[in-house]
Homo-oligomer: A and B are copies of this chain.
Amino acid sequence: MAGTTGTSLPFRLALAQCRLVVGDLAGNAATIRRYAADAAARDAQLVAFPEMALTGYPPEDLVFRRSFCAASEAALRDLAATLVGDGLGELPVVVGYLRRDEHDRPHNSAAVLFGGDVAAATDKVLLPTYGVFDERRYFEPGSTFAAVTVAGVRVGLTICEDLWWPGGPCVAAAAAGVDLVLCINGSPYESGKADVREALIAERAAEAAAPVAYLNQVGGQDELVFDGGSFVVDESGVTLARTDQFTEELFVVDLTLAPRPTTTAAQAAGLRIIRTEIATPSAPRTDPEPLTVAPRRDRLDLDYAAVVTGTRDYVRKNGFETVCLGLSGGIDSALTATVAVDALGADRVHTVAMPSSYSSRHSVDDAAELARRQGTRHRVIAIAPMVEAYQESLHLTGVAEENLQARVRGTLLMGLSNQEGHLVLATGNKSELATGFSTLYGDSVGGFAPIKDIPKSEVWELARWRNAQTPDAPPIPQESIDKPPSAELAPGQLDSDRLPDYTVLDRLLDDYVENDLGRAELLARGFDAETLDRTMRLVDLAEYKRRQYPPGPKVTPRAFGRDRRLPITNRWREGT
């Protein structure tokens, strides 16, 4: 049985690309109310919030706490009632939340609030359990597909991974004959992912035979950075509307939907189709506005935004006012300081130069010059007296002596942190983390590590890119970019004494760490056997250091941390 509902349907949809905080039910509810009021003021016919907007995402093991589940469900009911009190009872509001079903199993769910009640609800069907995701650990998969009619438009509700694979809820969407698929997400940033996402969602739109409105949250949550970039794509693969990444905004889109034939299908793709009709005003009061498609920013721009956003949110959401970090005069700490200033403002960034007897004059000068350009709160503490005090008891030599210097610096920064209340930022990059080219409890100290997922080659690229954004006032001294990298822990030391050239190294790390290639494949890609074997060994043996490294924003497709989980005790060596 099928028929059509007639002529084209205008529909004003508001996508709340907002910032949320894990565990902050009251704060997130307040954010939702604020955006909902804005959506109503702009005559939206439905406003949607991201995946698990009410609890924040991902809540990780909070899901196991019954009190937290109950609080999520209570907060949803309270929100429904409060929205009525706010005069928003007539606006359907789609909210992601956490619920337990009648068998006490947790679900990643979405509810439509209307008139003070939950008018419809559904559960996430496909549960990602790879990369940074552990959803099979937490949730039971959903078994329903919700088609909700709002102002004459049939909207199918889906959650994130539901649209990542064929054969799932989009098949049910097609069977249910929805006019529009709404997908609410908590999709973390990865370099290049936005294009992948849009192409994939276009395929799902074709499968659903309806446009898809894709909403993503924005902001940092520990290692994850959500990049927003919400969009609408139609079933022919055309992107109808797109907003910028990393911006907080209410993205209002005026859609003109082609009505689908009505159906009576009760089930598809193993999902029970549940239809709900919500009686709302049938058309927006104000005239439709033209759709905008924001241009895609380039890779460096986005990666930099991810790092700044991740840093800002970690600092703010955890209640810190200020950060401190060591400035060596080198490129890593220079970029980290610049990220911090862009994230928080210069007056919240405390920089410390901690020269040793091996530090060159220009290092101290470059650090001071960066502080001057950016206006950070800068000080200089020479480490020789502390190093000498240790050496009178320890008489360390070689690497042990090098590490001692790094640890004195770490202890100094932590002392300032404890005394003055700063969060310490670690300045290591991904190439360093990969090869273990850092000192545990030395340069690795910190609560957050902004560039830990940026390969060294990209550290230089980002520094140049950032300088180019403000050509009249480049924040990073050219000397810090140009000089050969050195840890300056021994006389005349250069990184190139111990590591391959960073261009080669980063290409190799990309293939070994990101792509999990084996030795034969790496040799076939032209890497020299000696470099290869030495580098793989460095990577394998540094796992224990990475395990104790601070969190930092994921930027690449496979970040160290929860994304790549290798045993420390591990005798597997490629090629053996």
Contacts and interface: CB of A to CB of B under 8 A. Distances in A.
Contacts of A494: none
B394 A385 contact: no
B393 A571 contact: no
A415 B411 contact: no
A568 interface: yes
A64 B567 CA distance: 13
B566 A61 contact: yes
Interface residues of A, number: 86
A407 interface: yes
Contacts of A518: 65-68, 70
A62 B551 CA distance: 22
Interface in A138-170: none
Contacts of A396: 415, 418-419
Interface in A2-27: 21-27
Contacts of A551: 547, 568
A571 B400 contact: no
Contact of A445 (B26, B441, B521, B574): B441
B574 A67 contact: yes
Contacts of A399: 418
A86 interface: no
B441 A419 contact: no
A64 B512 CA distance: 12
B400 A418 contact: yes
Most chain B beta carbons < 10 A, residue from A445, A519, A548:
A548
A473 B566 CA distance: 42
A534 interface: no
A508 interface: no
A390 B400 contact: no
Interface in A400-440: 400, 403-404, 407-408, 410-412, 414-416, 418-419, 440
A167 B570 CA distance: 35
A565 B441 contact: no
A21 B570 CA distance: 7
Interface stretch (A129-137, A204-212, A276-284, A460-468): A129-137
Given A23-B571, A137-B129, A548-B549, A385 B393 contact: yes
Contacts of A573: 23
A64 B516 contact: yes
A488 interface: no
Contacts of A303: none
A551 B408 CA distance: 24
Contacts of A440: 414, 445
A345 interface: no
B22 A567 contact: yes
A375 interface: no
Contacts of A447: 544
Interface in A37-87: 56, 58-62, 64-68, 70-71
A84 B453 CA distance: 49
A415 B390 CA distance: 9
Nearest to A25: B572
Contact of A390 (B137, B392, B397, B412): B412
Given A21-B571, A381-B393, A393-B381, A411 B418 contact: no
A565 B389 contact: no
Most chain B beta carbons < 10 A, residue from A220, A313, A410, A415:
A415
A221 B571 CA distance: 11
A537 interface: no
A550 interface: yes
Given A136-B129, A394-B416, A23 B567 contact: yes
B565 A61 contact: yes
A414 B394 contact: no
B414 A403 contact: yes
B62 A569 contact: no
A19 B335 CA distance: 47
A314 interface: yes
A564 interface: yes
A134 B66 CA distance: 22
A142 to B, nearest CB: 17
B441 A414 contact: yes
Given A23-B571, A136-B129, A571-B21, A393 B412 contact: yes
Contacts of A366: none
A410 B27 CA distance: 40
B386 A390 contact: yes
A318 interface: yes
A572 B22 contact: yes
A317 interface: yes
30 contacts: A22-B567, A22-B569, A22-B570, A23-B573, A24-B572, A27-B571, A60-B566, A66-B516, A67-B517, A67-B519, A129-B134, A129-B136, A220-B569, A221-B567, A222-B567, A382-B393, A385-B389, A386-B386, A388-B389, A400-B419, A403-B414, A403-B415, A404-B411, A404-B415, A404-B418, A410-B441, A441-B441, A547-B550, A548-B549, A551-B568
Given A22-B571, A220-B569, 5 more contacts: A64-B516, A129-B129, A136-B136, A390-B415, A393-B412
Top 9 A-B pairs, shortest CB-CB distance: A67-B518, A23-B572, A400-B418, A24-B571, A389-B389, A400-B419, A136-B136, A23-B571, A386-B389
